[in-house]
Amino acid sequence: MSIATAEFGTSGPEAGARSEDYLWTLNFGPQHPATHTTLRIVLKLDGERVVDAMPEMGYLHSGFEKLGEHLTFNQYVTVTDRMNYISPMANNVAWHHAVEALLGIELTPRCASIRTIIAELARISDHLLSNGAVGLDTGAFTFFLYAFYQREVIYDIFETLCGARFTNSYTRVGGVSQDFTPLVIEKIRGFLKTFPKTLDDMERLLTRNRIFVDRTKGVGVLTKEEAINRGATGPVARASGVTRDLRKDEPYLAYGDFDFQICCASAGDCYARYLIRMQEMRESLKIVAQAIENLPAGPVNVGIDQRTALPTKQQVYTTIEGTISHFELSMSNRGFEVPHEESYAAIEAPNGELGFYIVGDGGETAYRARCRPPSLLHFALFPHLIRGHTLSDVVAVLGSLNIIAAELDR
């Protein structure tokens, strides 16, 4: 629905100078239903056409990075939950992935598979919410309810797994807090069976819905060069034809073992981003299905000789190594051997490349824990995408970028 300036004859220097006088300034946010969280955009309007947009952020800046300098590597995982709160599991995985890269810990095969499964479930729940929100903002409320109902199913799986609906704090350095139980596996299998049908329903509801397609197709176009130059990653970049996906390009965890595809589109508009997310959910399902059927046996945490993950109670009570390692890990002046080093490691989070730059200074806490938030770079794209479109497209573009304020501001 882009209205080109030329169509109305308002382009050209003389017309531009005249229309300057009629520019409207509209404040959008920070408390607005369609921003979902706390974004603020000051829009310059010429009639209904957006001439310029000035995003403003920081309405949820709560000092995550400063907090990372005061909490130990295992404690900070609780804070990463609150960072991207629509897919916290992926944040947990990202944080401990980076910590393990710094400490040089290699996971057990079972743990790698488990983390892969939960990261993919997190991706599904993220895409459900972000697509549901695009639907909601463009007027498809039923679609949102479908999406949210499936999120409840995933919440239920996570709750069975670790007791919390979505602030899971599930990973630990060198392992996870709980192993998969048969009940969890059964629930995931059940989800794998029922979800494709709902996904079909959702696609039938919206993908070829005339109103939705009209409102999103050709809106907010991002070209491939711009996507790279402006640092877009994840579904936003892939909808513009950038093929980068860390799951394939730098296979971490167990992604190297599974058969799945990277979804790309070339249109780069809101509709393409919606389609990519829909398709990625199907690919994630494939990964989860393969991983759950081939879940390696064996221990889930790294061995007690490495002194990183807490040993099981059985080990503590029956072996001397277990006792020692439990003692050392619980003492505040012992614990991990952290090198005087800095490292960066990232995973392909649902929203894009989510990485942590961690500086270790020998102590139990990070000297500096920097999070590389995909949302920040995506929100910076916004003025570029919205220029020349109408006011009603603002919500479509915002929704398709899937900006999570807590991750944006940290």
Tell me whether residue 69 or residue 321 sits nearer to another protein (CB atom). Answer: 69
Binding mask 166-205 for ligand SF4 (x = CB under 6 A): -x--------------------------------------
Give residues 251-270 in contact with another protein (rule: CB under 8 A).
251-252, 256
Q: Which of 289, 361, 387, 392 binds another protein (CB under 8 A)?
A: 361
Q: How far is the CB of 406 from ligand SF4 (least distance, A)?
A: 8
Around Cβ 298, how many Cβ atoms within 10 Å?
Answer: 9
Q: Which two three-digit tokens encode residue 139? A: 């007027």
Tell me whether residue 155 or residue 392 sits nearer to another protein (CB atom). Answer: 155
Bridge partners (DSSP) of residue 134 are: none
Which class for 165: exposed (0-12), middle (13-18), buried (19 or more C-beta within 10 A)?
middle
Q: Which of 44, 82, 189, 217 binds ligand SF4 (CB under 6 A)?
A: 82
Q: How far apart are the first and last CA of the chain?
A: 34
Q: Which two three-digit tokens encode residue 343? A: 């490292």
Closest CA to 235 of 126, 154, 147, 143: 126
Tell me whether residue 229 or residue 333 sits nearer to another protein (CB atom). Answer: 229
Q: How far is the CB of 400 from another protein (least distance, A)?
A: 19
> Is 384 within 8 Å of 230 (Cβ atoms)?
yes
Closest CA to 92 of 109, 111, 110, 108: 111
Tell me whether residue 32 or residue 282 sits nearer to another protein (CB atom). Answer: 32
Which class for 86: exposed (0-12), middle (13-18), buried (19 or more C-beta within 10 A)?
buried
3-state secondary structure of 252: coil
CA distance 227 to 234: 10
Give residues 308-337 in contact with another protein (rule: CB under 8 A).
none
Bridge partners (DSSP) of residue 372 are: 355
Q: Which does 66 bind (CB under 5 to 8 A by kind): ligand SF4, another protein, none?
A: another protein
Q: Pick the stretch among 13-21, 24-32, 115-123, 307-315 that binds another protein (CB under 8 A).
A: 24-32
348 interacts with another protein by CB under 8 A: no
- For binding to ligand SF4 (CB under 6 A), which residues are involved? 82, 167
